[in-house]
Amino acid sequence: MISFFNRIGNSWIAKGIFFLLGASMMVFWGLGGISNTAGSDNTALSVAGNEVSMQELGHTFDQERNKMTRITGAYISPKQAIQAGLLDQVVQQLTLRELNAKIQDRIGLSASDNAVRNYIEKNPVFADNLGKFDANLFYSYLSGMNMSQAEFAHQMRAELANQHLLRTISAAVPKNQKLMNAAVLAQKETREIVGVLLTPKMISVAEPTLQELKDYYEAYLEEFGIPEYRTLRIVSLKADSFENNYDKMYDASRKLEDLLGAGKTLKEACSELKLKEGSLVTVDASGKDKNGKEQKELKVLLEESFGLAEGETTTLVDVEGGFIVAGVEKIIPQGYKGFDSVKNDVVQLWKTEQQKSALSKTADKVLTSVKEGKGWAGYTPVFGIVSQTNAGQFPKNVIPVLMQQKTGAEQVVSIPTETGVFVAYVKKIIPSKQAPTEAELVEAAKMWNADLLAAVQQSYTELYPVSVHQKAIQKAFSIYDKQED
């Protein structure tokens, strides 16, 4: 649908849309064009004077987090939700709501108190067994969502007005059968592609000099770093070491904790209690030893172990069958591998970088040659048919680009891929002969509405400046940073 919408961009249909919308198009979302300011501590964001309080942001965030919990079936803490990007989504959601509210005000759309009241009273969520509105259910819902009646009414008013806005925009350009057919067929069309995939293997580079390698090594020294390692003494207190006598095991663990709390090292404490001194293992922060083998049994101790100084000991951690504890015997600081020991790696990395640079220049040369009608600069092109859902023999990521292109060698493009650079153009557009299904027409109408609404939002962005008070939001939500999940 987007490709179809782009292609009719200069048609009388598009001109009619934007005339009706009073459009002066701008790039809108991402949050592009939005200023991030400090703001007041109680204001989360504002759209041309319409402010969203920190309390409303918090309530909306909790509502969406609760939805995530219900959908996944597992509790999601505020910290986990923020890390998953939910806070950013909610900020975007509220910003868009207020922008839509401004658009609605401008063109005279609003939802009355009666409309909101009717929506609430007819909502089956608040209906009793007889289908009648139950005020107790309504208040119980508000309590569960931690919302006031005013907040809920504000949300419903915005939602109803937004639905009205969408219907109004949709009516600006009637979705007649021909228009929707064209939209579906645009999605189902196929294209004949001509192109070459240029890969690093096609590019040869000269052997580097010793000085070039040393310069590269110095410039990219971090690539050859050695992580910090720690030698840990690992002691396990398992029931099977105490003849499966759990009382003895718990007694030994309490005594061990007391000695460690009194300043004894783990080795000293074990010696005093006549416990096995445990084993020594040297690992990095990911739990891998110097041979790259992962020591999985240390996973529960790693984070704490790498925050301690030499001679300090972790707390006793519950594991299956007992406890485990680690003492830091030695810290081996981060360092760098010497040039001579990594020379072969430096050569390979240097060649790879040279090949990438040469590959880019080669792709530019091929593209220019094709655009000027001089051919493929010695490379043999491949022909193939592609569609929105089938890349055929070509890299998948090039299809969205090529489905937007017009036909002709002068429209040739250079597209980076996982394996190289694909230089290609569309030779022929092949219309679909399959009649659209009813489901496809319904989906096309939805996408059409979405495109029109996006166009309206773009056209009004310049009129209504948006400020997201990022510092205030970070300060308000920083209470979750140290929260245990």
pLDDT given at position 18: 38
Last residue of a domain, one of 302, 333, 364: 333
Same domain, residue pair 396 and 461: no
Same domain, residue pair 289 and 364: no
Same domain, residue pair 110 and 31: yes
Same domain, residue pair 309 and 425: no
Question: Which residues contact residue 374 at a Cβ distance below 8 angstroms, ignoring those fewer than 6 apart?
Answer: none
Task: Report the range out of 66-70, 96-100, 202-206, 376-380 with the highest average pLDDT.
Answer: 376-380
Query: What CATH code is carried by the domain that includes residue 153?
Result: 1.10.4030.10
Same domain, residue pair 141 and 32: yes
The pLDDT-based confidence of 12 (bands split at 50, 70, 90) is very low
In a domain, 408, yes or no: yes
Average pLDDT, stretch 409-428? 93
The tens digit of pLDDT for each residue in 309-335 reads 999 999 998 888 889 999 999 999 988
Average pLDDT, stretch 144-154? 76
Report the candidate in 193, 216, 308, 220 with the shortest Cα–Cα distance to residue 260: 308
- 104-110, long-range: CB < 8 A, 24+ apart: 104/161, 104/162, 104/164, 104/165, 106/460, 106/463, 107/165, 107/168, 109/161, 109/164, 109/165, 109/168, 110/157, 110/161
In a domain, 343, yes or no: no
In a domain, 424, yes or no: yes
How many folded domains does the chain comprise? Answer: 3
In a domain, 313, yes or no: yes
Same domain, residue pair 416 and 359: yes
**Residues above pLDDT 90, as percent of the chain:** 27
pLDDT given at position 130: 85
Same domain, residue pair 308 and 358: no
pLDDT given at position 329: 93
pLDDT given at position 69: 79
In a domain, 344, yes or no: no
Identify the residue whose tokens are 């390979």: 348
The tens digit of pLDDT for each residue in 179-211 reads 777 777 777 888 999 999 999 888 888 899 999
Average pLDDT of the chain?
A: 81
Same domain, residue pair 75 and 148: yes
Neighbour count for residue 383 (Cβ, 10 Å): 11
Q: Is the pLDDT of residue 414 over 90?
A: yes
- DSSP secondary structure of 16-50: HHHHHHT-------SSTT-EE----TTEEEEETTE
Q: Is the pLDDT of residue 229 over 90?
A: yes
In a domain, 164, yes or no: yes
> What range defines the domain where residue 397 resides?
190-203+353-430
The tens digit of pLDDT for each residue in 134-145 reads 888 888 888 777
pLDDT given at position 140: 84
Same domain, residue pair 362 and 327: no
β-pair type (279-283, 466-468): unpaired
Average pLDDT, stretch 255-259? 91
One-letter identity of residue 134: D
- DSSP secondary structure of 420-458: SEEEEEEEEEE---SPPPHHHHHHHHHHHHHHHHHHHHH
Q: Is the pLDDT of residue 9 over 60?
A: no
Average pLDDT, stretch 266-290? 90
Same domain, residue pair 65 and 167: yes
Assess contact for 161 and 101: CB atoms under 8 A: yes
Query: What CATH code is carried by the domain that includes residue 317?
Result: 3.10.50
pLDDT given at position 268: 92
Same domain, residue pair 168 and 181: yes
The pLDDT-based confidence of 95 (bands split at 50, 70, 90) is confident
Same domain, residue pair 303 and 414: no
Q: Is the pLDDT of residue 21 over 50?
A: no
In a domain, 348, yes or no: no
The pTM for the full model equals 0.46
Last residue of a domain, one of 272, 303, 333: 333
Min mean pLDDT across 24-28, 30-34, 341-345 is at: 24-28
In a domain, 459, yes or no: yes
pLDDT given at position 49: 80
pLDDT given at position 107: 65
| Alpha-carbon distance values, 417 to 174, 195, 360, 378, 400 (Å) | 40, 13, 12, 21, 13
